[in-house]
A and B are shown apart, each in its own frame.
Chain A
Amino acid sequence: MIQYAVEMAEKAGMDDAIAKMVERKEKQVKFHRSEISVVKEWNSSTLELFMAKGKKILTLDIENPDREKIKRAIKRGEGIIKILADKEHYYGIGENEKDYIDKKVYDNGVDEEEKLISIANRTIDDALKYANEAAGIIYAGKEKIEICTSRGISEADKNSWITLSARAFSSDKASGHSVRCSRSMQTLEKDAGKEAGEVAEAAMHPQKIERGKYDVIFSHLSFANLISYMAEFASAFYVDSGMSFLAGKIGNSVGSEKVNVTDSGIHADGIASRKFDDEGLATGETKIIENGNVKSYLHNTSTARKHGTKTTGNAGVVYPSPWNEVVEKGDFSVNEMLEDVKKGIYITNVWYTRFQNYMTGDFSTIARDGAFLIEDGKISHPVEGIRISDSMPRILKNVDLLSNDLRQIYWWEVEVPVFTPQVLVRDVNITKSFL
């Protein structure tokens, strides 16, 4: 089918064509008020077609494709592409020059519904040992991707993933959240209910604190949130469109020398790992930040040529996009990090990160779930109603210690999978409501 689509596009006079077929099956168990709310299932088949004539480019989606639909879509595309404007910096699609690396795990049984329901029930039970209400999601899927391009690439890939996101409440203002994810059911840690419950229990009776500068230990969840935004900003499209504080910073420092972030399309357990990108080119690893300096943006063939570099295997043919981010871990245990804090806050989760200015990276984000005051190296008490109001470059520059435990985070508020340690950042600006 994909070969047919490329042939038809070439017959229609296209200079470049890519057909990518994705067949996906997903299941989800959602629970709230400590009971299952709904079980969902999806089954889809979609062909994504990219066509270029000269510098005019067009993408078309054909759902549940057959030859007739493909023919019709290409005919329509032929008419549309004529009237489009040139994309001046379109430089064609790539030819693969690297070996494909496919060491990622695939689990055909990742979406067995009885097991998903059983994990939901276990998560609820675990959370209720510490808290009085549990909610969450177990979301699993598998997909088959086939790609064919007019540059002679014809490849196939398959992926599986499962995520468990659990939240526990011990009172209206005391909650805990825990996320576990993996590419296989077997390797998924299933203790999210326990961890969420423990945090919720510890977060009981939060107190208000003063605004000001605090050292902050970001948990896996909260640091992953910031890095997932940063990963999007590393896309050359974001950089060129004024939507990134990384713009113009190649070779320059944006963080402490302890900060190393790599985009990986080949991580064995990365939720977003793929054998090839949307041009069919081999994915790999790209250092975005090395010792605090911006090393590379994420590119497809065209943005790479525009920036005078090589593709990083991150197509999107139109917009390059990140795969999984890996933050290099440090040597410290969380207890050692705590001991190094005189006045600080341990923030277990954040949400609603919003930017005042993408170029400067000025933003704020809200602590949600347990947040704990640290005084003289020890957790003192839970706190409520706080917000981080700071800037991304300042946060990255003030990174001081990184923990030795790396965890993959991918959930509703972290849209790019991130492997991250827990991170101590000095002098973070904390604000709260006045009234």
Chain B
Amino acid sequence: MIDEDLAEYGLKIADKADYAEIRIESSKSNAITLSNGVVEGTAVSESLGFSVRAIVNGAMSFYSTNIVSREEIKKAVERAMKIASLQKRKEKIGLSDERAWTDRWEVKEKKKDVRLDEAIEFLRSLDDIAKNKTLSRVFFYENEKVEKHYANTDGARIHSVVPRHSLYYLITVGEGGDTEQMNREFGNAGGWELVEKWNADDKLSEDISFMEKLIKEGKKPPEGNLDVIVGPYIAGLVAHESCGHPFEADRILGREAAQAGKSFVKEDMLGDVIGNECVSVVDDPTVPNSYGYYMYDDEGVKAVKRYLIKNGVINEFLHNRETASYFNRKSNAAARASAYDREPIVRMANTYIQPGDFSMEELIEDVKRGIYMATFMEWNIDDRRYNQKYVGEEAYYIENGEISHVVKHPALEITTPSFYKSVDAVGKELEFYPATCGKGEPMQGVPVFTGGGAVRLRNVRVR
């Protein structure tokens, strides 16, 4: 239970700041690791802490502690004011004017307080599927419930409670010295009832069967110019890596330049064509029960759906109040902090390529020579979010409109504009996949969905 009066007390002391906000968070989490049938570790954490962020004379500061008391709040505000005032900025930091919301919201759980032995049993049931068919397997399960109270000197007061569950597995299948690996992540905001809907057992069985097939039958992919269909799993990764990240306004302004890098997208590129007309990329925190769900961001701004690319045109960047002020616009509620001891920075929520009109059969039937990549293991992208590589794990050769055979590790290395300009059709089935997005220093991993319809690229180079 959070003592909301502490925030009020702190904000009163901060009356000489241009701006101040206090975020108090209480969280409970449980984590289990099951490796090769053995429960390696079970961790139970409870945390309570807060942070103060202040702007004094156009300079910003952030102070955080897990010592929660009136004395510490006072000290925190005073320290925040002091370390802000030590800076001598030429260009003053401003924040966009926003409506000061007062609200309380919660993600409901139909089935809550799952016991750890039930969770272990769940992992064991997965392990049973894999144990005789894999060289090794490791499962990580985690649940957490975060209660948060946010207050700022503009009058916003937001209280929230969000439970989440997640699962990650990495399995290794091998035969005759040849090995293949596949990892998967599952996650939602909500109760245990959503874990039951993951069908992780089916997915795991499918992954194992595919890898056995890949080892036995996988052929080298053809090299050269081909059509490529990427399934929603990879389409989501692309949307996240090469649209979501380069459209983060703080990255465009260079605030993450020394860590996560900058962006090939520049301030004046709004309205530029970046892809084919059939490409739209959306980032939407309001998808119910999504892993990246929120109703208000960590600056108290009400969440909205964002069209980053609309019909092939750069439409909107992701903003917090600082970047919105610089761009002379309103925030679109992209400020997120991964915990009470992290500053809110510009982040994605649930990023996806908007579905089109094509069934998977229709996407495939029009391909003479091509590759269908359903899942990946290795991928990366440069720090301008321009040159990227996706290596298929589950991948097939397409010949004359039909799936022909399994191919081993086809690699697509392509620039961002080339990717979006090569798209000629988007599938109509929208699928989401959870992921943890990393950014900031110290590192902030935040839960997100990635996804989309499947995407067909024409005439791109694969090897």
Contacts and interface: CB of A to CB of B under 8 A. Distances in A.
A35 B414 contact: no
Nearest to B383: A368
A412 B383 contact: no
Given A242-B137, A366-B381, A135 B258 contact: yes
A356 B258 contact: no
A191 B362 CA distance: 59
A368 B443 contact: no
Contact of B138 (A64, A76, A173, A242): A242
Nearest to B68: A64
B387 A366 contact: yes
Contacts of A189: none
Given A38-B60, A318-B41, A435 B422 contact: yes
Interface in A57-77: 57-64, 73, 76-77
A41 B341 CA distance: 9
Contacts of B409: 356
Task: Give the dominant DSSP class at A's interface.
Answer: strand
Interface in B350-403: 377-384, 386-389, 391, 393
A44 B67 CA distance: 7
B320 interface: no
A243 B169 CA distance: 11
A77 B46 CA distance: 12
Nearest to A28: B441
Contact of B89 (A36, A61, A172, A433): A36
A76 B460 contact: no
Interface stretch (B79-87, B299-307, B309-317): B79-87
A139 B441 CA distance: 9
Interface string A349-365: 00111111111101111
Contacts, number: 251
B309 to A, nearest CB: 18
Given A38-B343, A353-B380, A64 B67 contact: yes
B62 A318 contact: no
A61 B46 contact: yes
Interface stretch (A79-87, A142-150, A258-266, A417-425): A79-87
Contact of A433 (B383, B384, B413): B413
Nearest to A62: B46
B185 to A, nearest CB: 15
B382 A177 contact: no
Interface in B35-89: 35-36, 38-49, 59-68, 79-80, 83-84, 86-87, 89
A172 B413 CA distance: 21
18 contacts: A39-B83, A42-B341, A44-B64, A61-B44, A61-B47, A87-B40, A241-B138, A352-B382, A354-B380, A355-B377, A358-B170, A359-B174, A387-B387, A389-B411, A412-B259, A431-B411, A433-B389, A433-B414
Interface of B: 33, 35-36, 38-49, 59-68, 79-80, 83-84, 86-87, 89-91, 115-117, 120, 124, 135-138, 170-172, 174, 179-181, 253-262, 264, 341, 343, 377-384, 386-389, 391, 393, 409, 411, 413-415, 418, 422, 441, 443, 460-461
**Ranked 3 nearest A-B pairs via Cβ:** A242-B136, A434-B461, A318-B41
